[in-house]
Amino acid sequence: MGIIERMKLDGKKGFVTGGARGIGKCTAAAFAEAGADVAIVDLDLATAQNTAEEIAAATGRKVIAVGCDVTSEAQVQAMVDSVVKELGGLNFCHANAGICINAPADSMTYAQWKKNIDVNLNSMFLTDTIAGRYMLANGGGSIINTASMSAHIVNVPQPQCAYNASKAGVIQLTKSLAIEWAKRGVRVNSISPGYIGTDLTLSSPDLQPLIARWNAMAPMGRLGMPEELASICVYLAGDTSSFTTGSDFILDGAFTCF
């Protein structure tokens, strides 16, 4: 079998958290285009259902929607159980759900800090370990975590210490699980996007002055687009990345190079 055929995801089953929109929607669509059956997991079940129907119609794959609060251990366990039952197995997952709270550290409340850590880091532990237990017991699999270039730099001008810390934690969690599971058939990698022009980002009036400044600082002079992250996720979900684990892929248009 040639390399192109091996890059396909025919017969594989997976899910994407935060999959209803933005980066998650684009990677879910790419997984389905590559031949996988996919679950769109999101707190916003109605939008997840619309996304699932849209991707299914475009690709002909089985695409389902599952509502889930990824900070709840019980809900994540129920979600993984539902995905396995509805799709017939679990070969990969993209743990992508996340939030960003911009607040100066000296005025940030502990509730704000905790929410950012819960959604961005604690949910990764729940998603990775619950999905990982199934994969470890059923022939292996691939886990992809969304970190951020903010794990590598301190963004300016916006104050976001909780976000930066949470995403740095995602990378170290990724590496730790990769080492633990390297000989047991489960690979764990992360992607670190730079500033990405999702629909939500581009439509926010509060972000327009920041976008102008970010673009002025960016070597490529622009935001990335969600579609520009999808191919690396398809690679990581498939068999051609069988020797790739514990890696973080920075996808930022060279923003962190200086």
Predicted local confidence at residue 9, as pLDDT: 97
- Residue 71 binned pLDDT confidence (cut-offs 50, 70, 90): very high
Per-residue pLDDT reduced to its tens digit, 106-134: 999 999 999 999 999 999 999 999 999 99
- The residues annotated with a catalytic role in the active site are 148, 163, 167
- The answer to whether the beta carbons of residues 111 and 127 sit under 8 Å apart is no
The predicted pLDDT at position 199 comes to 83
Average pLDDT over residues 71-77: 98
Which of 228, 245, 116 shows the shortest CA–CA distance to 175?
245
Residue pLDDT, tens place only, 2-39: 777 888 999 999 999 999 999 999 999 999 999 999 99
Neighbours of 74 (CB within 10 A): 9
pLDDT given at position 204:
81
Residue 142 in 3-state DSSP? strand
Closest C-alpha among 123, 124, 141 to residue 132? 141
Mean pLDDT calculated for residue range 55-72: 98
Per DSSP (E only), the strands in 51-185 are: 63-67, 92-95, 141-146
Domain spans, the chain: 3-249
The residues facing 141 across adjacent strands are 186
Query: Nearest 5°: phi and psi at 20?
Result: -75, -25
Helix axis angle, 123-137 to 161-181, nearest 10°: 20
Q: What is the fold, at CATH topology level, of the domain defined by 3-249?
A: Rossmann fold (3.40.50)
Task: Give the three-state DSSP class for 41.
Answer: strand
Residue 38's pLDDT is what? 98
List the one residue out of 145, 153, 154, 192 whose CA is nearest residue 173. 145
Q: What is the pLDDT of residues 147-191, one digit of tens each?
A: 999 999 999 999 999 999 999 999 999 999 999 999 999 999 999
194-233 pLDDT, tens digit each: 999 988 788 788 788 899 999 999 999 999 999 999 999 9
Cβ atoms of 48 and 65 within 8 Å: the answer is: yes
